[in-house]
Copies of this chain bind each other. A is one copy, B any other.
Amino acid sequence: MARVHNFNAGPASLPLAALERAQRELIDFEGTGMSIIEHSHRGKAYEAVHNEAIKLVRDLLGVSDDYHVLFLQGGASQQFAVVPMNLLPAGKSADYVLTGGWSEKALEEAKRVGNARVAATTADNKKYTRVPKQGELQLDPEAAYVHITSNNTLFGTQWQEFPDTGKVPLVADMSSDILWRKFDVSKFGLIYAGAQKNIGPSGVTLVIVRKDLVDGGRKDIPVIFQYATHAANNSLYNTPPTFAIYLMRNVLAHLASQGGLEAVEANNRKKADTLYGALDELSSYYKAPVAKDSRSTMNVVFRLPTEDLEKKFVADAAKKGMVGLAGHRSTGGVRASIYNAVTLESVETLVAFMREFAKG
């Protein structure tokens, strides 16, 4: 079957070129007579892929030598616990900014590890239609760190500018928008992201962390959970998820070949402008609940006049080869996830369908 228009929220669409490269060499990697999956993680063939992936992250985002780039397992959900295990010592507290279900989960795990408090929330009866402004943040100047979720897949909000947390390290879950554009990594103490939205398959977690935070991290936790362990071993302390890292390498190399993150951002903005433009134009039919200055370029959520029409919209779209448009089970509605690998053509196809559907 032809490629569908994949608006899945994650795992999500990947660049076809990255998948085709994987398919071509899946049985015989670079003439070695075995799959990359069958290579030792301590061998030269895999090591070259591993190090290329790290270098691509560094190059694409402009990550300085003050930071480690780590490939871990367990997804963002594991980092919800591992961040405070490393960075939240007894006697300190961490600040959490709540902008959706994922930041709530991050806070819950932090509370199981140590002291954590809410520095701001835009919950507003769980509608979370915006991210907070700088002036709304009630920051603890003694906090171990401030935690934010850069993009909220469930509610379709995104930080356009990151908050100023002074000397307190800023920690961000960027699972759903990492590498959608270039940004100033030096403003962050730690960034983590499950790969399965913008940069690869599920099963690998990218962590970018300032070296001094690793050095000062807690050492009274299991060795496997210490960032210091993985930093000292180039993410090869234990067997990494080699194929997931390989495929992430393919995606990153594809992004680089497309002109880097400037080109990626331009394409993403065009896609978002196209879709939000249609929503604004058709606002008598479609309702976009998110405040304009908090609109996500990655997850576009909207409602139709009735839930029945929403179901029909999702079902009719699927028949036309547009899949993954149902909103999250906790929120309902419609959600189009337009991550890096979703093409402008897919977005334009969706917009044409929206116009037609609104006519009834």
Contact = CB atoms under 8 A, between A and B. Distances in A.
Given A3-B33, A14-B37, A77-B239, 6 more contacts: A8-B38, A11-B39, A33-B321, A74-B74, A78-B238, A85-B222
B34 A6 contact: yes
B73 A203 contact: yes
Interface in A260-305: none
Interface stretch (A89-97, A106-114, A138-146, A177-185): A106-114
A247 interface: yes
Given A224-B78, A225-B81, A8 B240 contact: no
* Interface residues of A, dominant DSSP: loop
Contacts of A87: none
A124 B77 CA distance: 42
9 contacts: A1-B33, A19-B26, A37-B201, A73-B75, A76-B238, A81-B222, A202-B243, A203-B240, A244-B244
Interface of A: 1-4, 6, 8-14, 16, 19-20, 22-23, 26-28, 31-35, 37-43, 73-78, 80-81, 85, 108-109, 112-113, 194, 196, 201-204, 220-225, 237-244, 247, 321, 323-324, 329
